[in-house]
């Protein structure tokens, strides 16, 4: 059973070391609303554990109570074990409307013994098509692992257990749209996508293995800037270095002002992409026969408009 107050976690570094640290357990009741699934989503253990279930009738999902305009959010997830083919577990940020922004973690299930594929994508103004996919270097169904999104005015970073796996830079100076003005909520879901999720839809969901369950814990939005409407005026810039935020000024400065990665982080990013990336839209010349997207050909640029 998950401790109500303290959780001990292990991060396995790519150099083969283990670092143990203690974190305060979060209460999902304070931060999350279960929004669909007709009872298939449940908050348990005094708010420290959230389970989503999927059966042949429906999946389930939740969303954050707050909206954010920039932030760093983290979630620990344990994925559906065994034969998870056809299922998709998600953790993502998304705004509303027809020209929405979105930053995605999607975990594509597979048959027993085959690895999950971690599918990432970035949408700006309703346009995506920026997929990068990875295998993970651990079994994501055996225990909880930490998945993080950092979104600030300069770049978006995807992290797995503290390791950067993907960076999407703000290249507005090169006419590449970047999410910067639409507040986003955090969402999580478990649903059936056997028309495309596993081997392009060739492997279907085996409902005799259900109900399928994915587990979430320790959602952390302490370093996210809560968007609000103050005295009838929409506050679209709620967070700035040293400014007001749900986090402390020093913590806000650290992630909000970050414009790139240090050499150590870049080394980890290259290691992950070299060893575990299985698809990169920026390498798909057949798909983009008229020329790769602009951001794919930009080298060593990280401009902020």
Domain count of the fold of the chain: 1
Please check whether residue 212 lies inside any domain of the structure: yes
Please check whether residue 300 lies inside any domain of the structure: no
Please check whether residue 139 lies inside any domain of the structure: yes
The answer to whether 92 touches 66, Cβ cutoff 8 Å, is no
Please check whether residue 42 lies inside any domain of the structure: yes
Q: What is the pLDDT of residues 201-239, one digit of tens each?
A: 999 999 999 999 999 999 999 889 998 766 444 554 446
* CATH code, 130: 2.60.120.200
Does this model's pTM top 0.95? My answer is no
Position 230 scores a pLDDT of 63
Position 298 scores a pLDDT of 80
Host domain of residue 56: 32-226
Position 229 scores a pLDDT of 67
Q: What is the pLDDT of residues 2-35, one digit of tens each?
A: 333 333 333 333 333 333 333 456 899 999 999 9
**Closest CA relative to residue 147, chosen from 70, 93, 83:** 93
C-alpha–C-alpha distance, residues 165 and 71, integer Å = 18
Catalytically active residues are 102, 106
Please check whether residue 112 lies inside any domain of the structure: yes
Please check whether residue 183 lies inside any domain of the structure: yes
C-alpha–C-alpha distance, residues 165 and 274, integer Å = 10
Please check whether residue 203 lies inside any domain of the structure: yes
Q: What is the pLDDT of residues 51-79, one digit of tens each?
A: 999 999 999 999 999 999 999 999 999 99
Q: For residue 129, what are its two tokens?
A: 């098509």
């Amino acid at each position: 059973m998950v401790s109500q107050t303290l959780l001990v976690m292990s991060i396995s570094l790519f150099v083969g070391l283990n670092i143990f640290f203690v974190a305060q357990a979060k209460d999902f009741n304070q931060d999350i609303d279960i929004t669909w699934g007709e009872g298939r989503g449940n908050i348990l253990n005094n708010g420290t554990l959230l389970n989503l279930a999927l059966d042949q009738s429906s999946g389930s999902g939740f969303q954050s109570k707050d909206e954010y305009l920039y932030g760093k959010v983290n979630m620990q997830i344990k994925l559906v074990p065994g034969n998870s083919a056809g299922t998709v577990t998600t953790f993502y940020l998304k705004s509303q409307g027809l020209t929405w922004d979105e930053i995605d973690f999607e975990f594509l299930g597979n048959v027993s013994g085959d690895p999950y594929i971690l599918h990432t994508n970035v949408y700006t103004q309703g346009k995506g098509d920026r997929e990068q996919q990875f295998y993970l270097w651990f079994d994501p169904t055996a225990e909880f692992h930490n998945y993080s999104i950092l979104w600030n005015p300069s770049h978006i970073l995807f992290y797995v257990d503290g390791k950067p796996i993907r960076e999407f830079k703000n290249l507005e100076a090169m006419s590449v749209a970047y999410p910067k003005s639409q507040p986003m909520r955090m969402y999580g879901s478990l649903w059936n996508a056997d028309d495309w999720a596993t081997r392009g839809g060739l492997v279907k969901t085996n409902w005799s293995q259900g109900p399928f369950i994915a587990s979430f814990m320790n959602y952390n939005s302490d370093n996210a800037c809560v968007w609000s409407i103050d005295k009838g005026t929409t506050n679209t810039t709620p967070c700035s270095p040293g400014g007001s935020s749900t986090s402390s000024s020093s913590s806000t400065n650290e992630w909000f002002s970050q414009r790139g990665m240090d050499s150590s982080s870049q080394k980890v990013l290259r290691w992950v992409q070299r060893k575990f990336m299985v698809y990169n839209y920026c390498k798909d010349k057949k798909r983009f026969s008229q020329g790769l997207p602009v951001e794919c050909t930009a080298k060593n640029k990280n401009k902020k408009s």
